[in-house]
């Protein structure tokens, strides 16, 4: 249930971030707290949440023990958050995510279910649970963190890419749906970012994703690029899609210009693995 920190929002704008104990979520929390916002830090990592609250300042937020797969947890933690913010929820950031690499046939049913449940169902749960609070807050917004894997699906990332394509599609649909109640929607699609996820995901065998990317000379961007993109998306960049990282923007442009070339390149990549 909602945990440490008894600070009140005191009229400040309020943001609720999932996956906030590390990586993109923590960087985003730091950015918004520095900008004067009250931050709801939501995660399953209790120790990480305590450290995150200390990092942003206890007066700037609160921690929420939340597994995004559970609708009851969403209802409970958002209610606790709203009690601190006088019912405000200016921005919901659906950031929590997991990745498991490898060929589809090598992934266990549990690995497949985990990615679908956290990366997609967790976002759906958040958008539904937060709807009333968002509607009650003028100028509110949902920010869904997808991935460049929601634009280009690489070999050995089939399930992860499927969830991120789904989040991208969900965001596009919700942009139209939520407009009728005055709630904005943004979709953030980063390239590979320097977060703990790179150390937990595997392309194959025992080699973590970070090692694989370095061996293949794939660029990895600092997490602050994403937090700044979220800040910009909330503060005036009106477009729905926000590709983060030079490589992401390049591949997005190339995919629009020559999708067949990109697909052939990915097939050759798979054959070479």
Better pLDDT: 138 or 252: 138
118, 98 contact by CB (below 8 A): yes
pLDDT tens readout for residues 131-167: 999 999 999 999 999 998 888 888 888 999 999 999 9
Residue 3's pLDDT band, with cuts at 50, 70 and 90, is low
For residues 88-117, average pLDDT: 95
Residues 6+ positions from 24 with CB-CB distance below 8 Å: 95, 145, 190, 193, 195, 223, 226, 227
Whole-angstrom CA distances from 13 to 63, 89, 108, 117 are 17, 8, 42, 30
According to the model, what pLDDT value does residue 269 have? 59
Better pLDDT: 210 or 79: 79
Residue 169 has pLDDT above 90, yes or no: yes
The alpha helices in the chain, defined as continuous H runs, are 23-34, 46-56, 71-85, 109-115, 122-129, 131-135, 158-179, 197-200, 209-215, 224-234, 246-257, 259-272
According to the model, what pLDDT value does residue 215 have? 58
Angular region, 102: left φ>0, alpha ψ -120 to 50, beta rest = left
Active site residue 160: yes
According to the model, what pLDDT value does residue 58 have? 97
Range in 38-42, 63-67, 155-159, 265-269 the model is least confident about: 265-269
pTM of the model: 0.88
For residues 51-60, average pLDDT: 97
The dihedral built from the CA positions of residue 19, 23, 29 and 35, taken in this order, carries a sign that is negative
- Alpha-carbon gap, residue 147 to 118, rounded angstroms: 14
Bridge partner residues of 92 (DSSP)? 16, 142
CATH top class, domain 14-193+222-272? alpha beta
Residue 216 has pLDDT above 70, yes or no: no
Which residue out of 16, 32, 74, 160 is catalytically annotated? 160
DSSP string, 24-67: HHHHHHHHHHHTT-EEEEEES-HHHHHHHHHHH-GGGEEEEE--
Torsions phi, psi for 206 (to 5 deg)? -100, 5
């Amino acid at each position: 249930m909602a945990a440490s920190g008894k600070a009140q929002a005191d009229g400040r704008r309020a943001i609720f971030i999932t996956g906030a104990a590390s990586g993109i979520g923590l960087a985003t929390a730091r950015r918004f707290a520095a900008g004067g916002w009250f931050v709801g830090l939501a995660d399953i990592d209790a120790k990480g949440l305590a450290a995150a609250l200390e990092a942003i300042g206890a007066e700037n937020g609160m921690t929420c023990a939340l597994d995004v797969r559970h609708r009851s947890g969403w209802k409970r933690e958002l209610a606790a958050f709203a009690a601190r913010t006088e019912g405000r929820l200016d921005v919901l950031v659906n950031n929590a995510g997991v990745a498991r690499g490898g060929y589809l046939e090598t992934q266990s049913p549990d690995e497949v279910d985990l990615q679908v449940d956290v990366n997609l169902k967790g976002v759906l749960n958040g958008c539904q649970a937060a709807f009333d609070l968002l509607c009650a807050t003028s100028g509110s917004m949902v920010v869904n963190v997808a991935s460049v894997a929601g634009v280009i699906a690489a070999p050995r990332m089939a399930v992860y890419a499927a969830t991120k394509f789904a989040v991208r599609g969900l965001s596009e649909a919700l942009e139209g749906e939520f407009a009728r109640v005055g709630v904005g929607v943004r979709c953030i699609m980063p390239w590979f970012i320097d977060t703990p996820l790179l150390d937990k995901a595997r392309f194959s065998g025992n080699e973590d994703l970070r090692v694989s990317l370095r061996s293949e000379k794939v660029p990895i961007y600092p997490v602050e690029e994403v937090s700044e993109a979220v800040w910009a998306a909330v503060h005036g960049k009106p477009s729905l899609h926000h590709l983060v990282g030079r490589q992401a923007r390049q591949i997005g442009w190339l995919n629009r210009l020559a999708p067949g070339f990109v697909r052939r390149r990915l097939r050759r990549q798979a054959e070479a693995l």
